[in-house]
Structure 1
């Protein structure tokens, strides 16, 4: 038997390796891979349909090292990131529901606050803003030193000599309820008398203010209403308090100007300072 050289043997081995056939794909047939295929053929004479024939349909798969399996994807599989999207959607719905609950609670609290505020204002005597003015008979020269309401807050004073039953200079009040008392101190300049007195106002004065009617401007037909308190002082110490819904009778219809309280001040003699003597 002839002996082959190593060189020829190596060439023979390499030749065999190069010409070796490629691996064939493996065919697998399982019970779950069978499908039913219906072939319909027309018979020559009767035209009846042929019966159903079952034929196995095998799935072809290669070795994992040589390529991916040629298998269909599962029908129930979710795309990548599906769980994150579902969780985000649930969180969004939860936040939306929580926001609706918070908004509803806020509306309820705001309604309770408004109702409570209205009840408190009614009980405390609030009836909106009003204006205060002072008055004296024509020619009576006086100096109003103090004008205090409810022993807690004060407003304008000054020197006047006219406008009895009328409204002169006013000061608007918006942060106080309708007063229950008014204290006034003024000086009769010519008589050299200083008067002091307190007037009790009606307990239902706030209700009277709320019931004041509207006025109508004759020139253009506009409607409106204001609230005025006028404190009048006379030379004999008499105090009169009026309530009105308009500044004057000029160009208006429906004006109310009524007395709501009166009182008597106590006077004492006191020389008038020289700087007040004209």
Structure 2
């Protein structure tokens, strides 16, 4: 759960058929908003009409991403509460939660006094921009852990800071923001303990790759080469070796599924499909959680 970088890694989990959920409420960048959602979901506090507003022909919720917005208020509330129920059930069963934070800069709604997860293009004059202090971030992190532990005490956590730079805040401001996140994480947790892990995705892109050829055209987001590199590092450090053989089999099947034959009706291709089907059936029989 967290930034858009989490969705890049989530796509890898999807490709390799891990059981997972990514950003159920859409991309959330700051730790206070992540904390608010997790506490609300775990306490089973429903979203109500007080949590939504109408703007630009759509109903929105300041606590979630605009991808959940709807032209109908009832549809939005059903969507929010349905997502919350599904997410809570996932939190109850999760063995590991990965939280990726993108920024310590937040926007506070001047009317409600609340920090929002998304401004939904509401005029900026309605918000005050502020930088979360290290202490504020520490408090949110501790509250997240306490909330999850109240319903799932055996869950482990991976924390990371998104390598995507928020240049709209300014170059210096982006560095300040990332430094607050990194400092708070390392002050809050002892990453030598087995319960908590820190994966240095930000540091890998900034210090190991260190070249604009690893960035997308906007020069802000990591490109596919960088994502693949960071994923390999993630596999090496965060995924148990017992999973590697299954991942290799899944990868082989995925590549075969992407194969485009010159002649789909040829006998050779039909044999290829039959062999692939047998391969999939065997893997699914051995690992029922995997679905192609």
Whether TM exceeds 0.5 here: the answer is no
Per chain length, whose mean CA-contact separation is higher, i.e. which structure has more relative contact order (CA < 8 Å, sep 6+)? 2
Higher strand share: 1
Higher helix share: 2
When Rg is computed on C-alpha atoms for both structures, the one with the higher figure is: 1
